[in-house]
Copies of this chain bind each other. A is one copy, B any other.
């Protein structure tokens, strides 16, 4: 398992790819797989840790990120012969080594940082086994072994059978995430909105979000950790996720559903894969539709929200998905 070396695996705070790599690794070990995790030396795992980079290059000003990357990846591929299969979370850079040895390589494509990286994925198409994190995030001209949704640790999210009073926006404060559309929806629907998240785009916040904030009807509480999220979800009537850019996956939607909270999400990107319309939330196209959806929130069975996460977006379901991919490659009977 190749984790990135930007952060420790699992990361102390931020580090989405390292989190996923850690979740899969630990669950596979629990299921009896013999896993070697390639990550930073300070990583924590029940797998065998093989490491040459002391600590995440984002946490260590003494090192060069590119040097860490080359030392880390060459270490993996120099030992490739010792493994039946390599599963990479290290983006296009890990593809470049894949034809220099015989071990099959699976890569989870956590996202295309830019169309400029596509030539590398095109070159190794059909050779490396590509896994997408949603069907929406697939490139039409690439071949995929599977879509495996990211899974969360559902035990971290407290289920709330009863709805709260307020609307909640949770996520980065950025135009892509449509924070201002959540504000507009709340204002016009006459409901309280609590906004939580890091301000990623300060200009956007000042110009488009702050004018709505009155600390009575619309409140901003900054970034929250897992405890803060659980507290927010307890108060939540619904989560508003009116993103203006297609989501690759949409972790917040899954977290809200895990807590039993229905989500009103813009019907873009992967949202319709994560949210089942009228069952775990509503898919809308604009603020008008979002306001109408609010009237139907009481029709959602909150048990369905939680059950859908357990089934499709848990660490268990994610590990099931990867086991199926591995077994196909290793020609083992599919057990999932």
Interface-located stretch among A12-20, A112-120, A165-173: A112-120
Please classify the interface of chain A as helix (H, G, I), strand (E, B), loop, or mixed, using the class held by over half of its residues: helix
Closest residue to A123 on the B side, CB-wise? B71
Q: Give the shortest distance, in Å, between A334 (CB) and chain B (any CB).
A: 32
Interface-located stretch among A38-46, A72-80, A132-140: A72-80
Interface-located stretch among A22-30, A97-105, A225-233: A97-105
Q: Is the CB of A67 within 8 A of B97?
A: no
Q: Is the CB of A116 within 8 A of B77?
A: no
A64 close to B (CB within 8 Å)? yes
Residue numbers in B under 8 Å from A120 (CB-CB): 67, 70-71
Given contacts A64-B116, A117-B67, contact A74 B99 (CB under 8 A): yes
Closest residue to A101 on the B side, CB-wise? B100
A-B contact pairs, 26 of them (CB 8 A): A62-B116, A63-B116, A64-B114, A64-B116, A66-B93, A67-B92, A67-B116, A67-B117, A67-B119, A67-B120, A70-B92, A70-B95, A70-B120, A71-B96, A71-B119, A71-B120, A73-B96, A74-B95, A74-B96, A74-B97, A74-B100, A74-B123, A78-B100, A97-B97, A97-B100, A100-B101
A-B pairs with lowest CB-CB distance, top 3: A64-B116, A74-B96, A100-B100
